[in-house]
Amino acid sequence: MNYKNYLSITDEVAQAIKEGKPVVALESTILSHGMPYPENVEFAKNVEIVVRKAGAIPATTAIIDGKLKVGLNSDELELMCKAENVGKVSRRDVATYVATKKNGATTVATTMMIAEMANIPIFATGGIGGVHRGAQETMDISADLQELAHTNVAVVGAGCKSILDIGLTLEYLETMGVPILGYQTDDFPAFYSIKSGFGVDFNLPDAKTVAKIMKTKWELGLNGGILIANPIPEEYSLDFDKIEAVINQALILAEKQGIKGKETTPFLLASIKDITEGKSFASNLQLAYNNAKVASEIAVEYSKLNK
């Protein structure tokens, strides 16, 4: 494969990868399509600070001018945050965006792809995509799930986005053989809330144990990702029943306005922010920071195991 010709890795990240130092991949869709400007600029900078404080190197990904970017400079982060002519890119879109030199923000699926190409084993996000409510009729299922089934990257997230059908998402991941590891929890988190009413496969006590499982899984030739379910910090958790009522309001709005496909998630998240008067946005920030911290701690332990 000649994909390395399309990779553009910053010197810092490339050197860290070469030396086996801990690196954490970060997505850019959360910047371009998940948060408003200029709040997203502050978040983009802060989340990289969180990663560094925990002992790892941040590698925010994007597609810019025909290149798969691994690590962004301040101008590139600004470009992603302003989101002018920046598309939301999943696996099906990658070749077109690269070949035509369109600028694109990377989803969970695309970030996993780029991370694996760059030899980065762990990635921090807010929450993964999954099976949408009503998917029995619409067949609206995120490409994130197939990526988790086939791509060797561990993903730290606060479960899946609570706008989804959490039960069906977990069933899908089980069918695909994706381990769902609770980070110090028995309960599968529901993005804004600590508990969803569903459980995880295993409750793991610390970053070192997660790192050992990652190493063992891939050394056994068991291809595919790992979902590390990391609950939102309790002080920022929203009441599950209340947020469920808000989600239902947002779903009704989406249906009335004919919102479908990849526009659904950004629309619902924005609507939930408006309905909750910004409380959901504050929670979103904190869960993302927490995921970046835990991913970095795992990256540090994984790096130690491989030296």
Catalytic entry in 27, 76, 116, 147: 27
Eight-class DSSP state of 275: H
Given a contact cutoff of 8 angstroms between Cβ atoms, the answer to whether 288 and 49 are in contact is no
Residue ranges of the domains in the chain? 3-305
Residue-level pLDDT, tens digit, the chain, 307 residues:
689 899 999 999 999 999 999 999 999 999 999 888 999 999 999 999 999 999 999 999 999 999 999 999 999 999 999 999 999 999 999 999 999 999 999 999 999 999 999 999 999 999 999 898 777 777 888 899 999 999 999 999 999 877 789 999 999 999 999 999 999 999 999 999 999 999 999 999 999 999 999 999 999 999 999 999 999 999 999 998 888 888 888 888 888 888 877 677 778 777 888 888 888 889 999 999 999 999 999 999 999 999 8
**Integer CA distances (angstroms), 156 to 1, 201, 255, 274, in order:** 28, 15, 31, 27
Which residues is 182 bridged to in the sheet? Answer: 203, 229
Which numeric CATH code is attached to 3-305? 3.40.1790.10
The answer to whether 21 is a known catalytic residue is no
pLDDT given for residue 241 in this prediction: 86
- Does the pTM of the predicted model rise above 0.85? yes
Eight-class DSSP state of 277: T
The answer to whether 161 is a known catalytic residue is yes
Cβ neighbours of 140 (radius 10 Å): 18
pLDDT given for residue 262 in this prediction: 67
Length of the chain: 307
pLDDT given for residue 134 in this prediction: 78
Determine the 3-state secondary structure of 34 from DSSP: coil
Catalytic entry in 69, 88, 161, 262: 161
**Integer CA distances (angstroms), 188 to 160, 169, 231, in order:** 9, 11, 8
